[in-house]
Amino acid sequence: MSNTNNTITFPELIRLKRDGGQLTEEEIHAFVQGVKSRAIKDSQIGAMLMAIWLKGMSEKETLQLTKEMMKSGEVFDWSDEWVVVDKHSTGGVGDKVSLPLAPALAACGCKVPMISGRGLAHTGGTLDKLESIPGFKVNQSVQQVKQILLDIGCCIVGQTETLVPADRVLYALRDATSTVDSLPLITGSIISKKGAEGLNALVLDVKFGRAALYKDLDSARHLAQSLVTAGNNLGITTGAILSRMNAPIGRCVGNAVEVCEALECLKGRGPDDLNELVLTLGGYLLWISGHSPTLENGKNMILQKLMNREALKKFQAMLVAQGVTEDAAHSLCADDTDYFKHMKRAAHQTELKAQHDGTVLEIDGMAVAKVLHKLGAGRNEPGEKIDHSVGAEILVDMGQQVTKGQSWIRIHHNSPELYIHQHFDLQKALVFGSSDEFKTESRVAEFIHPR
Ligand code: URA
């Protein structure tokens, strides 16, 4: 196929964008349809992606791209009485927020059809974390998702084949043509999938810092504004928080160990920074979706659902609905439990000792994640198997006074021992200083409200 709609050919369309022109609604429609049907050659799609990367897209073009991508597949249609909400995070080391957040929102009366992803490279995927629990099934049909939402209120599932098929083609070609980091292409990819989920409200957690894709606040703000604009233009009440991602979130990094920490959060015993993110993202969604008159009130509602264990009960029910046995779900959610009775524990636990006295100023999350990745916690190629039992528990707090010889991290691994360079990389991740150099910072730096 060489024509869009018998008026302009694809080479002409590529030239138009390459030369900085604006694409019309019909032209974007023809492009996305051609991508979906594979009528446009990969070389032409790649050239168009590069033209978009170089010249950008206006707000109007970005919205049209997002809408066309969304309409390239199935769009969920829920009961008018439901308030359907979700969150999207740009990903960070130790980010297990979705696990307590989805059931806490369901306990507040929202419907949460959370469609999550798998990890690649150093990033951990929510689906991988949940698959540490034997029996948990991330693949659920639309009918099953509907039933789980009706019965429980939340589910965490993988993307179905029918949801935004154009994104699968575009994403693979973006990867192959070094055009992943384009604002309109990222926006179209993320927001089209959220639009297809049939949401009323969406909160985005856009991370910045050493262990995030965006290293500084300005570039994270730029992305957040583009996502918030497209979400609202699509009719989803959308807001964002910009959150700091220097140290890992909480104390656990890996798959099974992060499930343990998420369960602790659901039992009201989570680490402060994880609690802060769950309360803020949840409270914000309750506020913008009209469930709560203020953000503060929304945060209190989430806190209450964690403290009174209603969120935990929702999580337990979700586990059973998604394939975990009643016995295992009950036991994981019990007060005093051995989590590793039901999840695989790594064969070895190695503790590393602090090499100096001092105050903990920083723990380089990316360095820890890279070591874990090599130990089997992450994958290099989509579809690769991972070892859910590999992980790390950080045994010290930021700002804590530590003495030489004190254990500061416990690595769970199945390789017989850690290599010398892994010891070295981990020790380098722990940054010491004096107590007056340490300043406590909230994870949440800024909000971008719906327009
Ligand atoms: N996540 C997505 O789904 N798409 C992107 O382009 C980036 C992150």
Q: 395: domain CATH number?
A: 3.90.1170.30
The residues facing 89 across adjacent strands are 205
State whether 109 and 248 are in the same domain.
Answer: yes
Work out the average pLDDT over 383-399: 94
Residues annotated as part of the active site: 88, 167, 174, 189, 193
Sign of CA dihedral 220, 91, 99, 228: positive
Residue 43 domain-assigned (yes or no): yes
Residue 425 domain-assigned (yes or no): yes
**Residues 369, 249: Cα–Cα separation, whole Å:** 12
pLDDT(3) > 60: no
State whether 31 and 89 are in the same domain.
Answer: no
Residue 168 domain-assigned (yes or no): yes
Asked which of 309, 335, 361 is the last residue of a domain, the reply is 335
State whether 101 and 137 are in the same domain.
Answer: yes
State whether 41 and 91 are in the same domain.
Answer: no
H-only helix segments in 137-210: 142-151, 165-176, 183-196
State whether 151 and 243 are in the same domain.
Answer: yes
Length of the chain equals 451
Work out the average pLDDT over 5-21: 89
For residue 9 the two structure tokens come to 């050919």
State whether 133 and 238 are in the same domain.
Answer: yes
Tell me which residue range forms the domain holding 43.
Answer: 2-56
Asked which of 335, 356, 377 is the last residue of a domain, the reply is 335
Residue 63 domain-assigned (yes or no): no
For helices 98-107 and 310-321, what crossing angle results, to 10°?
A: 110
pLDDT(415) > 70: yes
State whether 50 and 94 are in the same domain.
Answer: no
- The gap between the terminal CA atoms of the chain, to the nearest Å, is 40
User: What is the pLDDT at residue 6?
Assistant: 58
State whether 112 and 234 are in the same domain.
Answer: yes
Residue 449 pLDDT class (50, 70, 90 cuts): very high
The Å distance, Cα 412 to ligand 1 centre, comes to: 30
Q: How many domains does the chain have?
A: 3
Lowest mean pLDDT among 347-351, 377-381, 390-394: 377-381
User: What is the pLDDT at residue 430?
Assistant: 96
Single out the residue of 352, 430, 360 nearest to residue 401, CA to CA.
360
State whether 146 and 231 are in the same domain.
Answer: yes
State whether 323 and 423 are in the same domain.
Answer: no
CATH code of residue 12: 1.20.970.10
State whether 177 and 289 are in the same domain.
Answer: yes
Which residues are CB-neighbours of 54 under 8 A, at least 6 positions away? 18
Residue whose CA is at the smallest distance from ligand 1 atom 1:
190
- Say if CB 117 and CB 126 are below 8 A apart: yes
Q: What would the pLDDT profile of 115-131 be if each residue is shown by its tens digit?
A: 988 876 666 789 999 99
Work out the average pLDDT over 217-239: 97
Q: What would the pLDDT profile of 19-72 be if each residue is shown by its tens digit?
A: 999 999 999 999 999 999 999 999 999 999 999 999 999 999 999 999 999 999
Which residues are CB-neighbours of 150 under 8 A, at least 6 positions away? none
- Say if CB 357 and CB 402 are below 8 A apart: yes
Out of 186, 193, 214, 223, mutate this one to test ligand 1's pocket (max ligand atoms within 8 Å of CB): namely 186
* Binding site membership of 190 for ligand 1 (Cβ less than 6 Å): yes
The predicted model scores a pTM of: 0.95
User: What is the pLDDT at residue 93?
Assistant: 93
State whether 311 and 290 are in the same domain.
Answer: yes
User: What is the pLDDT at residue 1?
Assistant: 42
Residue 442 domain-assigned (yes or no): no
